[in-house]
Each structure stands twice: as C-alpha cells, then as structure tokens.
A = this chain, B = another copy of it.
C-alpha cells in the first residue's frame, strides 16, 4: 500500500521517510548538475532498475523536490530539474559529504564509476555569491583523468561535465588530494609546491577563483 514510514515526530525520521530510500539522494545529486533526461539519469546510476527510477522520479516530483518539464520542439523531450527545495536539500547534503569524503573515499577502486562533476558540486555549493558579482570565468578541472568545469557568471555557478572551451583557469589534481585540501589536511601552498596540484591561468583569474570559492583559508593554513 502506502510508503513505509518510521512513524516518528522527528525531523530526521521525516526527512528519511521522504528521501532516505535507496537511490533517492543520488538522483538528487545528479539533478543538481542541471536538467537531466530519464536516459541521462539511468546512465549515471548504473544498477538502478528502470522502473525504480520512474518510481523515484514520480515521488520526488510529488513531494516538490524535483520537477518535470517538457522541452518545446525541436528538442521535444522531458527533462527533470530540481525545485528550490531540491537545491536547498543539496546544500544540506554537503556536510554529510564532508564527513564521508576524508573517511571513506580512499583511492579509486576498479569498477567504481567516477565523474569529475561530483566533487565540483561541493565547490559550487560553497560559492560566495557576493564575490561572484560581475565575475565571468570558466574554471576547468581534471580530476583522476576526468574533466569538468565550473562556469561562474555574475553571481551564478554551474557545474558542467567535460572539458571547457577556453578556460580561464585549469586545475589538475588527484581526488584524494582534492579531498585532503577540502578537509584541511593538505594546504594548497604545499600541494602546489610538491606538484600534487597544478594550477594554470592568469594570476587575476586564479585570484578570483580563490575568492569566489572561499579557498583563501586553505592556501597556507589548515
């Protein structure tokens, strides 16, 4: 019949009633990267059953986390997006990610899928919108051989899969080192010095990059 519920008057239990089932939060993560078609989601979530994805999407739409839009011709396809509540939910996941990353991520194992845009979501969530005013830059990342970029456009940030066209800054680093910087175990200055982090671009753009994503504190103190 109905959905399984914990039956508790507790915000955590209610939240888990809503989004605690298998795959739900990973769907939300992928929608955080922008509008996705059903097939895009399926491809990014290997192992999910097609019918389960349909069920989850219907539920996310019903509870106001996702929305389904029908693009006009010639695109003529359905896409799913996050509502503002959905975007807020993504922000609420960042501390959970910050908890798990240094403890669980380790080195990549054979068979594990990876997309450079996943780690970038954390950066994008930490954007300083004031500092991003009138900034119009593209920062490209190569993480473990996979490319994605951040597009900053006057207060707004988008995470985009794949290499950038003509990036203002390019960043190359391993995921474990990226995580170590994020958790304060590794200073950016040290990572640059021993070649674990490569940063290219004009100094002005690099300085904007640090400012917009609040990385100042990570440069030389933990």
Q: Please, how many angstroms separate the alpha-carbon atoms of A220 and B9 in the complex?
A: 28
Task: Quickly give the copy total for this chain.
Answer: 2
Query: Among residues 1 to 35 in chain A, which have CB atoms less than 8 Å away from a CB atom of chain B?
Result: 6-18, 20, 22, 25-26, 29
Q: How far is the CB of A91 from chain B (nearest CB, A)?
A: 7
- Which residues between 98 and 136 of chain A lie within 8 Å of chain B, taking CB atoms? 98-101, 103-105, 108-109, 111-115, 118-119
Task: Please name all residues of chain B whose beta carbon is closer than 8 Å to the beta carbon of A109 when the two chains form the complex.
Answer: 9
Let me know if A49 is at the binding interface, CB within 8 A.
no
A171 CB, nearest partner CB in chain B, Å: 18
CB distance from A114 to the nearest CB of B (A): 4
Please report the total number of A residues contacting B with Cβ < 8 Å: 48
Does A195 count as interface, using CB distance less than 8 angstroms?
A: no
A54 on the interface (CB 8 Å rule)? no
Do A89 and B99 contact each other (CB < 8 Å), given the known contacts A9-B175, A11-B105?
yes
Contact of A113 among B9, B18, B22, B111 (CB under 8 A): B9
Say how far A100's CB is from chain B's closest CB, in angstroms. 3
A95 within 8 A of B: yes
Residues of B within 8 A of A108 (CB): 9
The answer to whether A11 and B85 have CB atoms under 8 Å apart is no
Q: Which residues of B contact A26 (CB under 8 A)?
A: 6, 8, 10, 12-13, 16
Please tell me if the beta carbons of B18 and A100 are within 8 angstroms of each other in the complex: yes
Q: In the complex, what residue of chain B is closest to A10 when comparing beta carbons?
A: B118
